[in-house]
Structures are given as structure tokens and as C-alpha cells.
């Protein structure tokens, strides 16, 4: 059950990062941009869930918090990379 918490936390971090980025931009909602952030959040959640199954069977609160921050970081890094590739 703890692995599910890690996956959901990483996914939630990506979602929160995407929402905060949209709020900060002041632009109209663009579903394509938000969809790509959701895809990165799902991938981050899956990768962290698999990673934690190999690392430990016990998941504590710090693990869930780290997964949340890492999910947010995956979204931010993905946006930066996508922006630099488009230029």
C-alpha cells in the first residue's frame, strides 16, 4: 500500500506543479500543455513506484514527501527541456 502512496504523491507533485505554472503564467488554459504535464506526472509516479519497490518495502512520510517534490521536479524539468528544444 505504501508504494501506491509514493506513486500518487509523485503524480500529485506533477499536477500541483502544472497548476502553479498555469496560474503564474496568466495565460488562458491550454489543454495540450496541461496534458503533457499530466503525462510527465503519470510517468514520474510510475518510475517512483517501481524504484521504491526495489529499494524498500517500508514507506515512511519522508519518502512520500520526497516523491511529491520529485514529481514536481520532473514536471518543471520537462517544461524547461521542451522550451529549450522549441527555440
The burial class, CB within 10 Å (0-12 / 13-18 / 19+), for 22 is middle
User: Which run of H or E residues covers position 69?
Assistant: helix 61-86
Using the 8-state DSSP alphabet, how is residue 57 labeled? S
Q: Which pTM value belongs to this model?
A: 0.79
Confidence of residue 86 (pLDDT cuts 50, 70, 90): low
Would you kindly state where each structural domain of the chain is located, as residue ranges?
Answer: 2-86
Q: Write out pLDDT tens, residues 36-46.
A: 888 888 888 88
Number of alpha carbons in the 13 Å side-chain half-sphere of residue 30: 9
Average pLDDT over residues 49-77: 82
Amino acid at each position: 500500500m505504501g508504494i501506491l502512496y509514493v506513486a500518487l504523491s509523485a503524480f500529485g507533485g506533477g499536477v500541483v506543479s502544472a497548476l502553479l505554472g498555469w496560474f503564474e503564467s496568466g495565460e488562458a488554459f491550454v489543454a495540450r500543455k496541461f496534458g503533457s504535464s499530466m503525462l510527465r506526472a503519470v510517468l514520474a509516479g510510475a518510475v517512483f513506484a517501481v524504484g521504491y519497490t526495489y529499494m524498500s518495502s517500508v514507506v515512511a512520510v519522508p519518502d512520500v514527501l520526497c516523491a511529491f517534490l520529485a514529481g514536481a521536479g520532473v514536471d518543471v524539468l520537462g517544461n524547461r527541456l521542451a522550451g529549450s528544444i522549441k527555440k
